[in-house]
Structure 1
Amino acid sequence: MSAGLAAVRTGIEAATPAPGDGVVLINGADLTPEPIRWLWPGWLALGKLHMLAGATGEGKTTIAMKMAATVTVGGHWADGSRCEPGNVLIWSGEDDPADTLLPRLLAAGADRTRCYFVSGVRVEDEVQSFDPARHMAALEEQARAIGGVKLLIVDPVVSAVRGDSHKNTEVRRALQPVVDLASRIDAAAVGISHFSKAGAGADPASRVVGSIAFAAVARVVLVAAKVRTENGEDRRVLARGKSNIGPDEGGFEYSIEQVEPSPGIVASCITWGQPVTGTARQLLAEADEQVSTSAMGAAEDFLRECLATPMPANMVKREAADAGHAWITVRRAANALGVVRRKGGVNNGWYWQLREDAQETPKVLIQNDEHLRQKLSTFDESGGATACGPLVDAVPNGECSEEVL
């Protein structure tokens, strides 16, 4: 036998499974079709992983506490359906249970005796931080000892990832124990995450911070966003951004209120409002448009005030930062207003000047700006060159590549 053939044969023998080992196959005839079992019909499914995502400040954790409270008392969901009472497991890496989470639960009317918080792991009489990579089996043991756990909240869901949260393989590997735990204890798991600032107008599931695996592994992605009604009032909505197991559109308005669940304790609480129609992508597009429009409008107002007289571009940038305007938004506003950029001589930088027709009302100067006018030697009353040096042609709408700020 040749050496090559022997190596091949040895490899085959090494790969041969031991008796009793091997791939397990299930024939379809041996399975019984089962319906999805819902904790909240169409929204939270037992044994499945869900993602609750949205921009900062939209009350995602408060929404999760409202859900938890509903479960503990067997209350009504936003659509009026009744929930079967159960226990809740909460694993939070950001908020303190005593001064933040419990007050919000009480504000939502929760039965505190049904709420359990993961605070750590005891190893040889020493309490250590909970590590999902090592302690998930211990958490499952505790969940089974409690019994009746119907909801598991992980806030933020990235806490379950010990590797790189932007790598698909590592995120999937880290989330699988959470998925398995939810399945084995028959609970709905909800992971809370943020939206990335980029990707406005894109599919909501693709805007979850980190790897796309966060949204891909979850069977349902819920989206919390703020939009503006036709009459100009702001409203918050909770919508379904994705669902592999049920309807993937529609939602409910909600508001965030401050209440006092016990003397001296103030906490935020969710109040459900009217149902809304449309997909989460449509609703978020409306929200993104409103935010963009509002920011642009504010930046345009800033420029009308700031450019009552010509101003150096670097000074405009400093003033914009002090006023809280993003520079990219200011540049877009400048383009929209037709702000003219002019370049002075060799020793002079760029200057911005507002077109006369871009001002809504005539501006009255209240400061002494003679020194500024002397430095802006590229501008005279007629717009031509002065003795301080020749003018570079005016460049409207920011089309000049030399101005880099």
Structure 2
Amino acid sequence: MSRTWDEEASPQPGVTLTRASSITPEGISWIWPGWLAAGKLHVLAGMAGTGKTTIALAVAATLTASGRWPDGEICRQPADVIMWSGEDDPADTLVPRLMAMGADVARVHLITGTRGDDGKLRGFDPANDMALLESALTNFKPRLLILDPISSAVSGDSHQNTEVRRSLQPIVDLAGNLGCAVLGISHFTKGTAGRDPLERVTGSLAFGAFARLVWATIKPGKDADDQKRRLIRTKSNIGHDGGGFEYDLAQTAVPGHADIYASCILWGEPLEGSARELAGQIEDDKKPGEESGPSPREEATDFLLNILADGPRMFGEIKEAADQDGIAPATLKRAKKGLGILSTKQAGGWQWHLKNWMPDDAQESQGDQGDHIYI
């Protein structure tokens, strides 16, 4: 009788093997199609001030109240959310933001501590208490678990791949067992602008590698033409990556509490392109130690001074040359305003000239101009 290697073949301790033919294929269970998947680990990372926690709360609000996702799709099945935050206070930050964004707060459950065998309450420790959390959720089926920050789940050195993977495995197991998505919040390492956003997640590369999807928040540089922040899908092992959404942070009154204001997310236009492209379009990409070069506006200013040095030019010619130099229309417009460049209507269209320009014949007879003034 030939021996089989099915896991049922031997109850003894050891490695179990399962024939692929015995596994029934399953599709990805999407909560937010393309962005948030049940049973999977997600990481949301970005620089300080980009509203990462507020974005996570916006996702929770949409999920609990059957709201609309940033792409306009309706969340058709409301569900419960579990959240632990080691950085923000529930009463003055988390709950007001949830209410401001229309969450069904009865469906949001905040982890506020654990009780030991001695009956005493203590703080929740993501690095050691995931088994306790899973036990507490035995008869409770949330669809989303938010951990802020995800680095607190690592019991050892968060810069060591092995320790990060070992620490994240219980979280991945919990997600699979409960069928919920896990969204862990992280930061970007300082001085990493210009790199692929996936490489910028603080700590070991295992954070980005272990997660099935990684989201990144990007804040525009001071000289960016577009001052809206961006949420970018940096990585996806289970679907398309790239693309994203513009967003703004705003303050709004909390319903039922007119004297309390809280942050909320205002979603903007969808974006197309790779993560690196979308980040680089608005972010200062100077690398650590690199000499500071001219900003896009400074480059546009130099361009206009050069092209108009010999006199007026038609706008069509200027725009064509600017396009060839990679100067965005909005940047060109800002540089024009900064230089005080004047435009006049001509038979063939609009003509631009520097404010101190005047025709040659006007320069020769400037002293005899009378009432004719060139500006």
TM-score normalized by the length of structure 1 = 0.65
CA offsets 1:344-368 (integer angstroms, 9 cap, x no match): xxxxxxxxxxxxxxxx9xxxxxxxx
Superposition CA RMSD, Å = 2.4
Is the contact between residue 82 and residue 142 of structure 2 (CA under 8 Å) also seen in structure 1? yes
Aligned residue number for residue 53 of structure 2: 61
Q: Identify if the C-alpha distance between structure 1 residues 109 and 176 changes in structure 2 by more than 3 Å, giving closer, same or farther.
A: same
Aligned residue number for residue 25 of structure 1: 17
Aligned residue number for residue 273 of structure 1: 268
CA offsets 1:213-235 (integer angstroms, 9 cap, x no match): 11011000001112379992401
> 1 CA distance for matches of 2:216 and 2:243?
11
Matches within 5 A, 1:386-401: none
Is the contact between residue 46 and residue 186 of structure 2 (CA under 8 Å) also seen in structure 1? yes
Q: Secondary structure at the match of 1:199?
A: coil
Are 1:193 and 2:192 counterparts? no
Q: Give the letter aligned to residue 247 of structure 1.
A: H
Aligned residue number for residue 225 of structure 2: 232
Q: Give the letter aligned to residue 201 of structure 1.
A: G
Aligned residue number for residue 72 of structure 1: 64
> 1 CA distance for matches of 2:248 and 2:138?
35
Aligned residue number for residue 303 of structure 2: none
Matches within 5 A, 1:4-403: 20-83=12-75, 84-123=77-116, 124-145=118-139, 147-227=140-220, 232-261=225-254, 262-289=257-284
Q: Give the letter aligned to residue 232 of structure 1.
A: D
Aligned residue number for residue 307 of structure 1: none
Q: Give the letter aligned to residue 248 of structure 2.
A: S
> 1 CA distance for matches of 2:222 and 2:238?
30
Q: Identify if the C-alpha distance between structure 1 residues 250 and 133 changes in structure 2 by more than 3 Å, giving closer, same or farther.
A: closer
> 1 CA distance for matches of 2:158 and 2:224?
41
CA offsets 1:169-205 (integer angstroms, 9 cap, x no match): 1111111111111111111100001111233222211
More off after superposition, 33-42 vs 123-132: 123-132
> 2 CA distance for matches of 1:230 and 1:54?
19
Q: Give the letter aligned to residue 106 of structure 2.
A: T
> 1 CA distance for matches of 2:83 and 2:279?
28
Of structures 1 and 2, the one with the larger relative CO (CA 8 A, separation 6+) is: 2
Q: Give the letter aligned to residue 45 of structure 1.
A: A
> 2 CA distance for matches of 1:239 and 1:254?
11
Q: Give the letter aligned to residue 281 of structure 2.
A: E
Q: Kindly state the Cα deviation for residue 296 of structure 1 after the two structures are TM-superposed.
A: 5.9
TM-score normalized by the length of structure 2 = 0.71
Q: Kindly state the Cα deviation for residue 280 of structure 1 after the two structures are TM-superposed.
A: 1.2
Q: Secondary structure at the match of 2:74?
A: coil
Q: Give the letter aligned to residue 289 of structure 1.
A: D
Is the contact between residue 30 and residue 38 of structure 2 (CA under 8 Å) also seen in structure 1? yes
> 1 CA distance for matches of 2:258 and 2:284?
41
> 1 CA distance for matches of 2:43 and 2:128?
23
Q: Secondary structure at the match of 1:287?
A: coil
Is the contact between residue 194 and residue 286 of structure 2 (CA under 8 Å) also seen in structure 1? no
Which structure 1 segments of 5+ residues have no match? Answer: 1-17, 302-359, 361-405
Q: Kindly state the Cα deviation for residue 286 of structure 1 after the two structures are TM-superposed.
A: 2.3
Is the contact between residue 219 and residue 283 of structure 2 (CA under 8 Å) also seen in structure 1? no
Between structure 1 and structure 2, the one with the greater Rg is 1
Q: Kindly state the Cα deviation for residue 136 of structure 1 after the two structures are TM-superposed.
A: 1.4
Is the contact between residue 88 and residue 115 of structure 1 (CA under 8 Å) also seen in structure 2? yes
Is the contact between residue 54 and residue 193 of structure 1 (CA under 8 Å) also seen in structure 2? yes
More off after superposition, 199-208 vs 112-121: 199-208
Q: Secondary structure at the match of 1:196?
A: coil
Is the contact between residue 250 and residue 278 of structure 1 (CA under 8 Å) also seen in structure 2? yes
Q: Secondary structure at the match of 1:104?
A: helix
Q: Give the letter aligned to residue 97 of structure 1.
A: P
CA offsets 1:299-321 (integer angstroms, 9 cap, x no match): xx9xxxxxxxxxxxxxxxxxxxx
Q: Secondary structure at the match of 1:289?
A: coil
Is the contact between residue 233 and residue 275 of structure 2 (CA under 8 Å) also seen in structure 1? yes
Q: Kindly state the Cα deviation for residue 161 of structure 1 after the two structures are TM-superposed.
A: 1.1
Is the contact between residue 228 and residue 235 of structure 1 (CA under 8 Å) also seen in structure 2? no
Is the contact between residue 128 and residue 155 of structure 2 (CA under 8 Å) also seen in structure 1? no
> 1 CA distance for matches of 2:286 and 2:199?
19
> 2 CA distance for matches of 1:263 and 1:82?
28
Higher helix share: 1
> 2 CA distance for matches of 1:252 and 1:55?
17
Q: Secondary structure at the match of 1:211?
A: coil
> 2 CA distance for matches of 1:163 and 1:251?
33
Aligned residue number for residue 325 of structure 2: none
Is the contact between residue 227 and residue 283 of structure 1 (CA under 8 Å) also seen in structure 2? no
Percent sequence identity is 51
Q: Secondary structure at the match of 2:129?
A: helix
Q: Identify if the C-alpha distance between structure 1 residues 230 and 211 changes in structure 2 by more than 3 Å, giving closer, same or farther.
A: closer
Q: Identify if the C-alpha distance between structure 1 residues 134 and 55 changes in structure 2 by more than 3 Å, giving closer, same or farther.
A: closer
Is the contact between residue 229 and residue 235 of structure 1 (CA under 8 Å) also seen in structure 2? no
Equivalences, count: 281
Q: Identify if the C-alpha distance between structure 1 residues 230 and 96 changes in structure 2 by more than 3 Å, giving closer, same or farther.
A: closer
Is the contact between residue 248 and residue 265 of structure 2 (CA under 8 Å) also seen in structure 1? yes
